Amino acid sequence: ETRYVRADYFGDYSKMEPAYRALATYIKDAGKTELGGPSELYITSPMVEKDTAKWETHILFPVK
């Protein structure tokens, strides 16, 4: 069983870094350890939704 820490990010892909930093801080503060690199799950397609503020992405880090 793998557990994940997830952030739901809304906005332009090029501005996701603060969400990554927040997740890294949470993981550290919660006493968890990353088990590999993050992955991104794109919920909203930029081909369908042109408003970048409505683009939803889930950022996931596997942890133990």
Query: What's residue 30's pLDDT?
Result: 97
Tens digits of pLDDT across the chain (64 residues): 899 999 999 999 999 999 999 999 999 999 999 999 999 999 999 999 999 999 999 999 999 9
Query: What's residue 1's pLDDT?
Result: 87
**How far apart, in whole angstroms, are the C-alpha atoms of residue 23 and residue 17?**
10
Q: How many CB atoms lie within 10 A of CB 6?
A: 12
Structure tokens at 43: 């919920």
Query: What's residue 19's pLDDT?
Result: 97
Query: What's residue 50's pLDDT?
Result: 96
